[in-house]
Amino acid sequence: MLTVEKIGGTSMTALSDVIKNIILFERSGKQLYNRIFVVSAFSGVTNLLLENKKTGEPGVYHRLATFKDFHKPLKNLTIRLKEINKSYESLGLNIAEADLFIETRIKEAQTYLENLSNILASGYVSNEGILQAAREILASIGESHSAFNFTNILQNMGINATLIDLSGFHDYRSYTIDQRIKHDLQNIKFEDTICIVTGYAKGTEGIMREFDRGYSEVTFSKIAVAVKPEEAIIHKEYHLCTADPVLVGVDNCFPVGNTNYDVADQLADVGMEAIHPKASKPLEINDINLRIKNTFQPEHPGTLITKEYICEHKRVEVITGTEKVMMIDIYDPSMVGAPGSDLQIMQMFYKFNVSYSFKATSANSISIVIWEKDFNKKLISELEDDFEKVTVEKMAMVCLIGSNMDQPGLLAKSAAALADNGINIKSCGFALRKVNIQFLIAREDFDNAIIALNKAMG
């Protein structure tokens, strides 16, 4: 059966395990083929190219964006990527070919970036378009590097592997992402080869502009929609579990066997992404099943996500949350009975491109929870201009998520579990479908809250 599979950056870095556990596991001969692998850059490489996803530490892109010399960081990047190449020599990577590939690619990218930098410095064009092009160029390097190395190793093992570089580095045709995917895959006999495809895909709409750092999963999703596989598979370095095993202990949680795309959306909304929400929706619409597997436990079937699945027993499937949220509470007596207060507030959030994951209202106040990284002082200032009192507080959110958990007493049981452990609930809520019950608590209570809820629901 034809499958489209995605390998994340952490897994890609462990290429030996990927080859043993994904490529070769219980397969030989023709069984190796009929698979398309969409690969991320090796772990940490995109951080060097753009910025550190967690800490925000600047990479090559920010040197160019702030009119600083980016040649030295590019040179250091070349050195680092060659060091990565060297680490895979024992797997059969042809170091001379790999080094030449990355030297050539970075040299070509440097020429493009120099031209963009000169245009940017002229002041005659919009900075936004130029800087976005720079992000696209830089982002493409990471996936092209990992895809080339992976293909080279497989070919040197005697496996028929085909490199599909969707970065379009030497292609000046104005394809959309979907058109490029269709063009580059159209003449390939999947039953005779393993396709190794870059997670970055060049298109007129700009994949970074549309999806930023979630782009590789979007490429994966678009390829799946294009070829209609029997199954789409994402290989991660961990299982999708009922709770974080680091917090609750490996003996107190277990992998989720089945769930649906609705639950996947809820998980993504609190940062526990099984798949990027903009990548999952096309799979759901086209009725393509998605499996999440652990790279390092190939014998385990993982989690199967389907469109229609509903758990046959009423239970909580996942207990999760985040410590990286803030609550903005807007209070004004004039809200009472006045239509449009909520609309006015939402228009301000829209103006500053701030999304929210939770909202609770009373007669004269509206509390909204946002990601801490999206906090904007100008937004708060404008809210303060129009409303009597605006309070901002750092918080944590813990969630009970499941496809069928609408049972009497669940809210009381979970609230009691928190109260019994001395955890104060600052706010809570759920929508009518009851697929996600959310509790807002103090950050220092987060770990204990997850442990307490997991114990109560077990």
Residue-wise DSSP of 202-214: --TT-HHHHHGGG
The residues facing 303 across adjacent strands are: 292
Q: How confident is the model at residue 220 (pLDDT cuts 50, 70, 90)?
A: very high
Neighbours of 439 (CB within 10 A): 26
**Amino acid identity, residue 345?**
I
By mean pLDDT, which of 109-123, 363-377, 442-456 is the weakest? Answer: 109-123
Q: How confident is the model at residue 211 (pLDDT cuts 50, 70, 90)?
A: confident
Please write the tens of the pLDDT for every residue from 159-173: 999 999 999 988 888
The 3 state secondary structure assigned to 323-373 is EEEEEEEEECHHHCCCCCHHHHHHHHHHHCCCCCCEEEECCCEEEEEEEHH
Neighbours of 181 (CB within 10 A): 22
Report percent pLDDT > 70 for the chain.
100
* 8 A C-beta contact, residue 125 and residue 104: no
SS3 407: coil
> Which pLDDT value is given to residue 329?
97
Whether 289 has a pLDDT exceeding 90, the answer reads yes
Residue with tokens 């994966």: 220
Q: How confident is the model at residue 392 (pLDDT cuts 50, 70, 90)?
A: very high
What is the mean predicted confidence (pLDDT) over 399-412?
94
> Which pLDDT value is given to residue 432?
87
C-alpha–C-alpha distance, residues 68 and 414, integer Å: 53
Higher pLDDT, 271 or 256: 256
User: pTM above the 0.95 mark?
Assistant: no
Q: How confident is the model at residue 282 (pLDDT cuts 50, 70, 90)?
A: very high
Whether 133 has a pLDDT exceeding 80, the answer reads yes
C-alpha–C-alpha distance, residues 290 and 277, integer Å: 13
C-alpha–C-alpha distance, residues 194 and 213, integer Å: 26
Mean pLDDT of the chain: 94
